[in-house]
């Protein structure tokens, strides 16, 4: 669904992109093209996220909570900054962190921590924010048609979200704790996905431009 600026080719989940399939939708008696985002996501947002998930902490301000959800979608692939979100919504940073924990508990969003040799820094440093469902994130940012992604300023971030979320969900499906991190040095250079198992650290994210990806597909 997502024509992206960047792709993580060395991640196994990237193979899904080249098939242009949409996961479990292949089991249903309709194609992905026949299932409009406006048919799928509004009921999901209204019934599950706004009704069920927010009751985990008895959040009463539905309108502000919905705007919090939209702001999170606009920050996929970015460092989570509770103070920035709080300022945009007119709430305190403790409330922003509390609402984020609600979305985490409801498996709507997750945080990807930074990789450091020092484990304490992994816990204390800022983490990057992602959605489990990339389609939901795209819908919340206003995307309704595939062609709208061609010029959408967050298309690269949404594609990054897709690749990393597929790996995380794959680990959960196997009953394993995700062993994924990201790395960013002091100059801003970044590896989007690092997998560490025991003492074996592998940087599996390799960024290519969309032009390079198109050449490979051709």
- CB count in 10 Å sphere of residue 162: 27
Note whether 110 and 168 are within 8 A (CB).
yes
* This model's pTM is above 0.85: no
**Sequential DSSP letters for 113-145:** PBP-SSHHHHHHS--EEEES-HHHHHHHTT--S
Note whether 140 and 69 are within 8 A (CB).
yes
| Beta strands in 42-174, from DSSP E residues, in sequence order | 109-112, 128-131
Note whether 168 and 132 are within 8 A (CB).
yes
Positions of the chain with pLDDT lower than 50, given as ranges: 1-30, 123-124, 203, 205-218
Q: Which pLDDT belongs to residue 77?
A: 93
Q: Which pLDDT belongs to residue 116?
A: 66
Q: Which pLDDT belongs to residue 125?
A: 75
Q: Which pLDDT belongs to residue 94?
A: 93
Q: Which pLDDT belongs to residue 205?
A: 47
What ranges do the domains of the chain cover? 6-20+35-217
CATH number 1.10.10.10 is the correct assignment for the domain at 6-20+35-217:
yes
pLDDT in tens, 47-88: 888 888 888 888 888 899 999 999 999 999 999 999 999 999
Residue owning tokens 């009921």: 43
Q: Measure the CA–CA gap between 212 and 95, rounded to whole angstroms.
A: 43
How far apart, in Å, do the first and last CA atoms of the chain sit?
A: 18
Q: Among candidates 104, 64, 108, 100, which has minimal Cα distance to 82?
A: 100
Between 93-105 and 62-73, two packed helices, what is the crossing angle to 10 degrees?
Answer: 80
């Amino acid at each position: 669904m997502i024509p992206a600026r960047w792709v993580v080719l060395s991640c196994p989940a990237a193979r899904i992109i080249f098939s242009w399939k949409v996961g479990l939708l292949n089991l249903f008696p309709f194609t992905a093209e026949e299932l409009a985002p406006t048919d799928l996501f509004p009921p999901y947002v209204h019934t599950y996220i706004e009704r069920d998930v927010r009751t985990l902490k008895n959040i009463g301000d539905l309108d502000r909570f919905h705007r919090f959800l939209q702001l999170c979608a606009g920050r996929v692939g970015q460092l989570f900054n509770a103070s920035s979100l709080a300022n945009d919504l007119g709430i305190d940073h403790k409330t922003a962190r509390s609402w984020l924990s609600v979305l985490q508990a409801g498996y709507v969003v997750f945080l990807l921590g930074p990789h450091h040799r020092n484990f304490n820094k992994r816990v204390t440093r800022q983490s990057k924010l992602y959605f489990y469902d990339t389609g939901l994130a795209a819908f919340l940012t206003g995307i309704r048609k595939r062609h709208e992604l061609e010029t959408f300023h967050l298309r690269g971030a949404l594609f990054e979200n897709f690749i990393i979320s597929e790996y995380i969900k794959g680990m959960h499906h196997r009953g394993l704790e995700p062993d994924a991190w990201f790395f960013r040095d002091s100059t801003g250079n970044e590896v989007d996905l690092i997998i560490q198992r025991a003492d074996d650290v592998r940087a599996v994210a390799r960024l290519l431009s969309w032009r390079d990806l198109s050449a490979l597909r051709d």
